[in-house]
A and B are shown apart, each in its own frame.
Chain A
Amino acid sequence: MDWLLTGIMLTAFVILGSSQLGICIRVVALQGALLSLLPLLAGDPFLDLHRLFLAGTSFTIKTLAIPLLLTRSLSQAKIKREVEPAISLHLSLLGGGAILVGAFLGAKFFSLPTDPFPSSIIPVALTIIFIGFFLLISRYKAITQVLGFLVLENGVFLFGVTLIGEFPLTVEMGVFLDLLVGVFVMGIMIHHINRTFDHIDTKALAVLKDIE
């Protein structure tokens, strides 16, 4: 189990340090696939219907549907396939390291009940949530902001896996549906941003303000 958690955390760092948008999308898909394994490991009867269904939906949406949507809007957008960080990639990685240390130190205060998962799941979830935030604020392209949102959402999912069983299946499906529709709407908007400004740089989206 620890290996899986380490893997999930490493994918977050790969996204943070990669300069190619295509790779970023694929790694987010990989992260989703690793996350989808977790519900299966949550408890004894390995083939519990609820958890099987959760893992299946999670895999379909996080690993197949959303990356496909994003790849499509990337190829339509005809942009340079490079991440445009506001903070350089090296500094981003250093920042990620700082977040990691902070999360493990801070997690001492969060002695939440996590069984059947190892207690390291909480700091890993926190790290991923904060890396998601970091991606959101430190990247200019609209599509990387969506990736940041997805990483953040994955962190929340990781946290939520510890509570499997408290959530009824219908509600979980609702959460996934919202995520899928959300990314779909974001994909359409990226298309429109590209058409309106000829690029998907969010620096163009800073006209509305109060003080001129």
Chain B
Amino acid sequence: MNLIFLLIIPGTLGILTLFIRGNQKRALRRHILFLGALSHLVGTSLFYFPGAQRSFNIYLSIDSLGLLFLSLHSVLFFFVSIYSFGYFFKEYRSEQERGIRHLYAPCMLFFLISMTVATLTSHLGLLWVAVEATTLATAPLIYYHHNAHALEAAWKYLLICSVGIALALLGIFFVAAAGKGSGFDLFFSDFIKNAKNLDARWLKIGFLLIMVGFGTKMGLAPLHNWLPDAHSEAPSSVSALLSGALLNVAFLGILRCYQICIAAGLSEFTNTLLILFGLTSLGVAVVFITNQKDYKRLLAYSSVEHMGILSLGMGIGAPFASLLHMVNHSLTKGLLFLVAGHIMLGYRTKKVSEVHGLLKTLPATGILFVTGGMAIMGLPPFAPFISKFMILRESFTHNHPVVAIFYLLFLGIIFVAMSKILFAMAQGEKREIPGTLERYPYLLVSPILLAAIILVLGLYLPPGFIHFLREASHLLEGNL
């Protein structure tokens, strides 16, 4: 039942939209995209009913960790599909820019399906296939604008991520080699049950390669080179999904291998590696956020920063805080990229220096942008503050004072650098802008809802949500 809503309906709609071409039919394609998103949301919510079927066949059976990722990208995708009604009507259109525009809706739907398979599967090989499929589905989306810059971004993305993911496959082979001869297939549950019999040497090499491979896709420094280009050149709705959903799915790939390593008693090795990647990402983000000239690149580097925080949070042994932060980051960054899309449409530029007086020129956009900005920098009363603070606290309780000091230092610098840029954009006198926002209501619905969610989560965490997160983080402590 769930699979029909989650995979079959969006898949069929995706294939259908492949055959609906032409600029005039754009509205129809957007409606179909919305239907696909709605069906996916229904399918996801079915899992929350008591007694819902969670296991479909040997390859597809979801646990609470997978369900968390699935719900997150389902909700975000739904918001983006509403936003899509408004966004593309007012984009700059020039005569030379023709080509694969009609691929927007089908590629989005294929992207949705491949992410869903990645969260549903219990098999390492299938997980790899699904994550690689997300790369292929999103490359045309990044090339949406059909200019030289978008082409460069898409080419870099495709090549760097494909190579990275090939390394992850090698890593999965090493993990398989660690269990060779014991006769079980590549299911995580089998590996976790037999973790004590695995050969620790191969498992370590496997984890390292998977960390590098999926880490490339997740945007961990120093493997993040594709990320700022792709995020800044893609349409804003796509950037929101790349940052809020795609990076998480790559993180899930790392976490699946992490589960096996923890059960095999290699936590010291994996944690050191996670902390190292996390701190490097934070450090790189500090360097590039300071004096950043392009606000979409700024948001992209902020994603590198937050992926670093997730990795660091796992490394110090705070899976609960890390997962909570993942949820908060996805919602907040989704909000920010969608609002950045308003600014793009209004001001027709990505340069920070050409955007002034946002609060007076486009008041609703300005307020949402400032809200999102304050949330992502970790100011109370928004949700990211709680998770950032929890990670800080846990790093002291788990005896990582040096890590905590660096974490605070980096976050402090990023706070100053980012607020300087964001407030320079928001404040100033009202001015004439070159673009118009024709379907403004469509563009506003999703960001307002996202802002409301991060505000509510910042003030009150529902017990049901906490319980659900505990269940998911329990899996990351070596349990099955």
Contacts and interface: CB of A to CB of B under 8 A. Distances in A.
A140 to B, nearest CB: 13
Interface string A129-163: 10001001000001001100100110010011011
A152 B162 CA distance: 10
A175 B297 CA distance: 33
A101 B175 CA distance: 26
Contact of B149 (A193, A202, A208, A212): A208
A166 B176 contact: yes
B140 A185 contact: yes
Contacts of B202: 112
A149 B162 contact: yes
Contacts of A142: 155
Contacts of B293: 210, 212
Contacts of B177: 112-113, 162-163
B139 A171 contact: no
26 contacts: A112-B202, A113-B181, A142-B155, A149-B162, A152-B163, A156-B169, A160-B173, A163-B176, A163-B180, A167-B176, A171-B125, A171-B126, A171-B129, A174-B129, A175-B125, A181-B133, A182-B136, A186-B158, A186-B159, A192-B146, A205-B152, A205-B156, A208-B153, A208-B228, A208-B229, A212-B293
Interface string B174-185: 001101110001
A189 B149 contact: no
Interface string B98-137: 0100000000000000000000000101101100110110
B158 to A, nearest CB: 6
B154 interface: yes
B288 interface: yes
Interface in A161-212: 162-163, 166-168, 170-172, 174-175, 177-178, 181-182, 185-186, 189, 192-193, 196-197, 202, 204-208, 210, 212
Question: Max chain B CB contacts within 10 Å: which of A142, A186, A204?
Answer: A186
B180 A178 contact: no
A23 B156 CA distance: 26
B151 interface: yes
Contacts of B229: 208
Nearest to B287: A210
Contacts of B123: 168, 171
B159 A149 contact: yes
A62 B132 CA distance: 18
B292 interface: yes
Contacts of A145: 159
A185 B139 contact: yes
Contact of B297 (A171, A174, A189, A210): A210
Given A185-B140, A208-B233, A156 B151 contact: no
B176 to A, nearest CB: 5
B136 A156 contact: no
Nearest to B230: A208
Give the interface size class of chain B. Answer: 35 or more
A149 B166 contact: yes
Given A182-B132, A185-B140, A113 B170 contact: no
Contacts of A212: 293
Interface of A: 112-113, 129, 133, 136, 142, 145-146, 149, 152-153, 156, 159-160, 162-163, 166-168, 170-172, 174-175, 177-178, 181-182, 185-186, 189, 192-193, 196-197, 202, 204-208, 210, 212
B234 to A, nearest CB: 12
B155 A189 contact: yes
B59 interface: yes
Nearest to B117: A174
Contact of B125 (A146, A162, A174, A204): A174
Interface centre among A142, A196, A208 (most CB of B within 10 A): A208
Nearest to A168: B185
Contacts of B186: 166-167, 171
Contacts of B126: 170-171, 174
Contacts of A166: 176, 179-180, 185-186
Interface in B189-209: 202
A156 B173 contact: yes
B155 A202 contact: yes
Interface string B366-378: 0000000000000
A123 B171 CA distance: 16
B297 to A, nearest CB: 7
Most chain A CB within a 10 A radius of its CB, from B99, B152, B176, B297: B152
B402 interface: no
Contacts of A171: 123, 125-126, 129, 186
Given A160-B169, A182-B162, A197 B148 contact: yes
B152 A178 contact: no
A31 to B, nearest CB: 16
A198 to B, nearest CB: 12
A159 B156 contact: no
A175 B176 contact: no
Given A160-B169, A182-B162, A189-B139, 16 more contacts: A136-B163, A163-B173, A163-B176, A166-B180, A166-B186, A167-B125, A167-B186, A171-B123, A171-B126, A172-B125, A192-B146, A196-B151, A204-B148, A208-B149, A208-B228, A210-B292
B136 A181 contact: yes
A185 B136 contact: yes
B143 interface: yes
Nearest to B169: A156
A55 to B, nearest CB: 18
Among B128, B148, B176, B185, the one with the most A-chain Cβ atoms within 10 Å of its Cβ is B148
B59 A205 contact: no
Nearest to A205: B152
B136 A159 contact: no
B139 A159 contact: no
A177 B207 CA distance: 25
A185 B232 CA distance: 21
B45 to A, nearest CB: 28
Contacts of A149: 159, 162-163, 166
